[in-house]
């Protein structure tokens, strides 16, 4: 247990990008409470997003004793803020929280948890303070990242053990059966698809349908589902529906709670993910994956995607790096997906080995929660 165990942490999360923001905050809050013994209060502006992610309908405010979930606007719920106050992803704090920071008797350490980026400038800004323009307080900028000089990635202490137990204990078949599957899991090439809307998606689906092996596409309810519906020509698609065309079966899944989604990533041969939370979890799954990066109007997402690919593929064989880069660019709209997907098939075994090696490299650094606790102990 951390030496920070006597401290209270307040984490404030605005739900901006569907479930990505709250997904990160929920995992972080749980880990700080369970592994570091901290009293954690998670303040959320869209409580229903968290209810879906937890996979249970508990009354808001119900949690184990050292983890509470509170409404963003509930200023009367507490007399003062904790020793650590964290705003997630530049979402700011409610006005009442800023007022408490400025006037309460005890000082709080204010941390701005930034978005994950592989860009080279991140390490030079990580941990730096910045004075608030209106009150006599500093905010410290804390950057998740992929290597030394950053805050690392979210990773529970038992993650590797859970993943290995899943693989050794027939976890994939058990998960598939729990989702309503009746056939043997390993008789198909299994792909999970959690994505934004995709340009030229139909071309990729055509390639899968005409392929030389049976492919199962598992689609949790989300933004890409209407495109699947249009391609299969269905009036509507609901969780549990399965439609086959050629060698491709499209199976619709419910929106999965985080533990089940992790297991889906572990079970599949290939994963397509979006946003920050699923992006990180795909890397811990140790499987080939595609990242559908959130598109930005000024094309800043291309800089971020290139920065990640440069780091991710640095140790990969040249042919694999070329194929993965081409497919990543295609999925994110720069070229047709079908030909890029066909070209990467001969590299899949190399990609699988590279994914394991990459995960091992990442695991050599402190996880995000541990890095945060160490930083707080140092500053305070």
Is residue 123 scored above 50 in pLDDT?
A: yes
Report the mean per-residue pLDDT for the chain.
Answer: 92
Does residue 1 have a pLDDT over 50?
no
CATH number at residue 34: 3.40.50
Residue 63 has pLDDT above 70, yes or no: no
Q: Which of 87, 114, 276, 367 is an active site residue? A: 276
Q: What is the pLDDT of residue 380?
A: 84
Radius of gyration of the chain (CA): 22
Residues 203-229, buried b or exposed e (16+ Cβ, 10 A)?
A: bbbbbbbebeebbbbbbbbbebbebbb
Residues 253 and 126 in one domain: no
Query: What is the pTM (predicted TM-score) of this model?
Result: 0.94
Residue 168: CATH number of its domain: 3.40.50.2000
Q: Can you give the pLDDT at residue 25?
A: 95
Please indicate, yes or no, if residue 218 is contained in any of the structural domains. Answer: yes
**Predicted local distance difference test score (pLDDT) of residue 61:** 56
Q: Is 195 found in the same domain as 127?
A: no
The residue from 21, 63, 83, 367 that is catalytic is 21
Percent of the chain past pLDDT 70, that is, above it, reads 95
Q: Which residues contact 69 (CB under 8 A, 6 or more apart)?
A: 41, 42, 44, 47, 50, 60, 61, 62, 63
The angle at the Cα of 349, spanning 344 to 354, to the nearest 5 degrees, equals: 95
Q: How many helices (H) and strands (E) does the chain have?
A: 15, 13
The partner residues of 220 in beta bridges, in order of sequence, read: 253
Same domain, 234 and 139: no
Kindly give the residue spans of alpha helices, DSSP state H, lying in the chain: 20-36, 47-54, 95-103, 122-125, 159-168, 171-178, 201-209, 225-232, 258-267, 277-284, 300-312, 318-331, 337-344, 348-362, 368-379
Mean pLDDT of 136-156: 94
21 is catalytic: yes
Split into its structural domains, the chain has a count of: 2
d(CA 301, CA 42): 29
Reply yes or no on whether the pLDDT at 5 is more than 80: no
Sign of the Cα pseudo-torsion (127, 128, 129, 133, in order): negative
Residue 209 reports pLDDT greater than 70: yes
What would the mean pLDDT of 349-369 be, rounded to a whole number? 98
Q: How confident is the model at residue 39 (pLDDT cuts 50, 70, 90)?
A: very high
Residues 51 and 99 occupy one common structural domain: yes
219-245: per-residue pLDDT in tens? Answer: 999 999 999 999 999 888 999 999 999
Residue ranges making up the domain that contains 230: 159-362
202 in the same domain as 103: no
User: Is 2 part of a structural domain of the chain?
Assistant: no
- Summarize the confidence of residues 151-167 as an average pLDDT: 97
């Amino acid at each position: 247990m951390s030496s920070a165990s006597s401290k209270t942490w307040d984490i404030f999360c605005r739900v901006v990008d569907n479930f990505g923001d709250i997904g990160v905050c929920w995992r972080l809050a749980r880990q700080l409470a369970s592994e570091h013994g901290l009293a954690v209060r998670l303040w959320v502006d869209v409580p229903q997003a968290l209810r879906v992610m937890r996979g249970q309908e508990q009354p808001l405010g119900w949690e184990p004793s050292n983890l509470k979930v509170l409404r963003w606007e509930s200023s009367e719920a507490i007399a003062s803020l904790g020793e650590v106050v964290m705003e997630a992803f530049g979402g700011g704090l409610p006005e009442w929280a800023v007022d408490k920071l400025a006037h309460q008797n005890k000082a709080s350490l204010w941390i701005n948890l930034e978005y994950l980026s592989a860009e080279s400038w991140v390490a030079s800004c990580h941990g730096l303070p910045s004075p608030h323009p209106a009150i006599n307080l500093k905010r410290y900028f804390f950057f998740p990242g992929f290597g030394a000089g950053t805050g690392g990635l979210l990773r529970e202490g038992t993650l590797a053990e859970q993943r290995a137990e899943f693989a050794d204990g027939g976890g994939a078949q058990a998960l598939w059966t729990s989702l309503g599957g009746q056939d043997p899991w390993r008789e198909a090439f299994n792909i999970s698809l959690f994505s934004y809307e995709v340009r030229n998606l139909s071309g990729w689906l055509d390639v899968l349908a005409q392929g030389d092996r049976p492919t199962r596409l598992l689609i949790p309810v989300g933004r890409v589902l209407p495109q699947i519906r249009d391609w299969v020509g269905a009036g509507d698609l609901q969780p549990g529906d399965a439609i086959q065309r050629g060698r491709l079966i499209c199976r619709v899944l419910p929106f999965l709670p985080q533990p089940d989604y992790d297991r889906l990533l572990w079970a599949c041969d290939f994963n397509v993910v979006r946003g920050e939370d699923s992006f990180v979890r795909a890397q811990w799954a140790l499987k080939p994956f595609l990242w559908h990066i959130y598109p930005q109007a000024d094309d800043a997402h291309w800089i971020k995607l290139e920065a990640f690919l440069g780091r991710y593929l640095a140790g990969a064989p040249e042919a694999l790096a070329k194929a993965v880069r081409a497919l990543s660019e295609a999925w994110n709209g720069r070229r047709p997906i079908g030909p890029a997907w066909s070209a990467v098939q001969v590299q899949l075994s190399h990609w699988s080995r590279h994914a394991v090696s990459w995960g091992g490299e990442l695991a050599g650094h402190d996880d995000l929660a541990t890095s945060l606790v160490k930083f707080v102990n140092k500053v305070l």
